[in-house]
Amino acid sequence: MESRPILIIDDNDDDFRILARYAGPEYRALYDDGSSDVGALTERHRPDCIMIDYHLAGKKGIEVLRRLKADAATAHIPVVMITGETDPSVIIEGMKSGAADYLVKERLRKTAVKATVRQAIEKAEMERKLEEQRQQIVEFSRTDELTGVFNRRYMLERLRNEIDRTKRSGTTFTLTMLDVDHLKEINDTCGHLAGDRLLVEVVEVIRKGVRKTDYLGRYGGDEFLVVLLESVRRSRWETLKLHAAKIDTLRRAIASRRIPWDGGGLSVSASFGVAIYGEHTPSCTALLDEADRMLYRAKQNGKNSVACSCDGQGGLFTGAVD
């Protein structure tokens, strides 16, 4: 089995050699006297564990420990504090600062060094797995199972947050509600698997056409929400024109999509209602209602179209917005 790298930071060569001998051969010890940049060291050597002497020339090892734990790039690496102090306050200080464990120099034993390093690494790995599981749970709680985009609950939460942010920044944003045309007929004639495939394809087109800073989520059934953000202060009408043009590009991309299915192909189109946040849409509910009203207008126009609203004034667009 290949030895796992550990980094020992100690300004005493004799102490380093003792620790390195006790840790081997399971652990391959790398040495630094505390004068190097610890961040660069960890990036270069990627140790599974770091051992730091509490007393280093010119500074305390506790300061190095705190820097490691404050840096996201190194915070996950377990640190064992090495000290010659028997004062409990020193040990408590190290543990409060993020040390996984500690060893007292006068009591160093081969079995103790190996066990302490092994347990520190195992604890860090367990914590990492638990954090990954927690992140998965969070992701599942806000993601639509079929399409992989945000679900309704999370989109409404983001929408409320965006309204609050916009009030502070003085910028604005648009909300688009879209509906896949004729999905019921496709479900009835080709089956729900075909309908699901169309939804996934529509989402893929939209996902590729918006920025990572924008939001896309499933509102329910075949309805989706797209929040296009604006970092530049423009008039609401100028912002609406720009965003409506982008939405119309998405509409045309969806309409030109031919999806292989059951030896043939399926075509799909979508209708879009675009509303801009402003004094006529001051809340999440008001903005959703206006986008829904514009979506209904797009449907009335024969579907496969974009309808927009700004300050209570609506317009119908199926191409570039003038």
Residues assigned a catalytic role: 222
Q: Are 280 and 172 in contact (CB under 8 A)?
A: no
| Burial (CB count within 10 angstroms: exposed 0-12, middle 13-18, buried 19+), residue 94 | buried
Distance set, CA 69 to CA 79, 131, 147, 148, 174 (Å): 9, 16, 37, 34, 40
Q: What is the rounded CA–CA span in Å between residue 203 and residue 265?
A: 18
Burial pattern 187-210, b for ≥16 Cβ within 10 A else e, equals beebeeebbebbbebbbebbeebb
Alpha helices in the chain (DSSP H): 13-23, 38-45, 61-70, 88-96, 110-142, 152-169, 183-190, 192-209, 236-255, 284-300
- Reference 7, options 26, 30, 27, 28; nearest CA is 30
Q: What is the rounded CA–CA span in Å between residue 32 and residue 37?
A: 10
Q: Which long-range contacts (CB under 8 A, 24 or more apart) does 11-14 make?
A: 11/53, 11/55, 11/56, 11/57, 12/53
Q: What angle do CA 278, 287, 140 make, to 5 degrees?
A: 125
Q: What is the rounded CA–CA span in Å between residue 29 and residue 24?
A: 8
Q: Are 233 and 181 in contact (CB under 8 A)?
A: no
Q: What is the DSSP letter of 234?
A: -
Q: What is the rounded CA–CA span in Å between residue 223 and residue 62?
A: 55
Tokens of 105: 């120099």
